[in-house]
Amino acid sequence: MPGKADVVVVGAGIAALALAIELQKKGISTILLERQKSPEGIPRGLTFQPNGLAVLEKLEALGRAKEIGSASQILEVKSWEGEVLLEADYGLLDHPQNYLLTANATEIERLLVYLAEKAGARVLWGTSFQELTMTEGRANGVVYEADGITDQIEASVVVGADGPQSRLRTSLGSQVKTKKYPDSFLVGLVGPVPGLEGRARQYQSPGKMLGIMPSGPEATYLFHCVGPRSFDSVKKEGLASFRAEVVQAAPEMADAFTGVEAWTKMAYFTPSYIQVNRWVGNGIALLGDAAHSFHPHAGQGVNLALEDAVALAEVIDKCKVAGDFSQTSLLEYQKERQMRADVIGKHANYTVTYALSDNWLIKRLNKRALHKLNKNKKLQKKALEITAGIFEKKPGLVTLAKIGGILP
Ligand SMILES: Cc1cc2nc3c(=O)[nH]c(=O)nc-3n(C[C@H](O)[C@H](O)[C@H](O)COP(=O)(O)OP(=O)(O)OC[C@H]3O[C@@H](n4cnc5c(N)ncnc54)[C@H](O)[C@@H]3O)c2cc1C
């Protein structure tokens, strides 16, 4: 087992792998610790927005990602009754990747593992982070456990890319604000759906939400709000009943469940909004969902995580040149990234609250806002710039209110 590297990363999710590729390109040796035995995860799709696609391009992963997934230029929002409320056109954006790409999350992870290892990074599968090692108030490595054996790795920087329940974040002592949403979701990959060429679709109604995104040549990513129901109670109602619930809103899904015979093809989760005050310490940095986690309605979690990875690699490189991995030096990374995470987290929070609300006033405002965005292309472009993660500066309250339908 290796005992030393420039950087040790806890986790080998998409954020960690992107960081490893970027660091290795700069000649910074990187080891990743991953408690899972392989990149296999729950069967789900992952939607990349223009900001994340730009990073995939930088990692030289975009070409293959496009073969694995499906690109959509239009995101259609429909009411439960089938009325088109909005056709959001990513083609309006002044960006080389002005489209969405949805792909099987596991296949994207496998692709990034391949690129990270090719660049020289080492992924230690089946290893769990136990604790930080410190010297004179500065992190200098980690203790990990694999197959019941405990060992240690020394490093100049320890990165916590260990997801929303980050243990490294606890070791850092950050303050965490968590909001758990009342509605849960079922996600899974089902068969192809006719009529979705170049389009992703979302159905909305108070308390309901259904997303169907083409995800590769023979698959569609399904994202369905099951409200406050537990996974057990949805399972008890049966797969046929779940299918009927989906098909009632989206008749085009009728044939997509062929081949979906078991609940093992579906995953259940309850989203949270996690805000973290401190992302860095002496010799420590948090990355991706460990630093911020939002409602997946924003479709931004993985995209911001990829951008964080590029920014953190740049800052670590500067620290290495200066021989200084102190909190003060690493703070440049947090300063650069936190504003974007704040804007997107808040945007995701209010858009999903609007979209799922049962309140008649909010319901009316939400519908009006969608209709307005559909007609007003300038406003639609502004809203899409936030969703796509490509806004230049923090949007003002008036802009956000206009997008949200609060102001006429
Ligand atoms: C159902 C669902 C749908 C989503 N859809 C989208 C979407 O369409 N678009 C989008 O942008 N975002 C989406 N997201 C969010 C997105 O998946 C996350 O933001 C993104 O995966 C974060 O990547 P990460 O690398 O930071 O964390 P993770 O992917 O969570 O990776 C963390 C890794 O750390 C490992 N780990 C944890 N603890 C330890 C430990 N102690 N030791 C060793 N390893 C450890 C874990 O096993 C894991 O592999 C979705 C999220 C969910 C749950």
Residue 115 in any domain: the answer is: no
Give the global pTM: 0.95
Q: Which of 270, 274, 286, 289 to mutate to test the pocket of ligand 1 (most atoms within 8 A of CB)?
A: 289
Q: Which of 302, 303, 347, 352 to mutate to test the pocket of ligand 1 (most atoms within 8 A of CB)?
A: 302
Tell me the percentage of the chain whose pLDDT exceeds 70: 98
Are residue 371 and residue 324 in the same domain, yes or no?
A: no
With residues binned 3-state (H G I as helix, E B as strand, rest as coil), the percentages for the chain, rounded to 5, are 40, 30, 30
Contact 107, 68 (CB under 8 A): yes
199-228, pLDDT tens digit by residue? Answer: 999 998 888 899 999 999 889 999 999 999
44-95, pLDDT tens digit by residue? Answer: 899 999 999 999 999 999 999 999 999 999 999 999 889 999 999 999 999 9
Tell me, in angstroms, the distance from the centre of ligand 1 to residue 163's CA.
Answer: 5
Tell me, in angstroms, the distance from the centre of ligand 1 to residue 271's CA.
Answer: 12
Range of the domain at 133: 7-35+126-180+272-344
**Residue 404: beta bridge partners?**
none
236-290, pLDDT tens digit by residue? Answer: 999 899 999 999 999 999 999 887 777 887 899 999 999 999 999 999 999 999 9
Q: Is the pLDDT of residue 33 over 80?
A: yes
Residue 176 in any domain: the answer is: yes
Residue 363 in any domain: the answer is: yes
> How many separate domains does the chain show?
2
Is 290 exposed, middle or buried (CB count within 10 Å of its CB: 0-12, 13-18, 19+)? buried
Are residue 324 and residue 377 in the same domain, yes or no?
A: no
CB burial readout 322-335, b (16+ within 10 A) else e:
eeebebebbbbbbe
Residue 403 in any domain: the answer is: yes
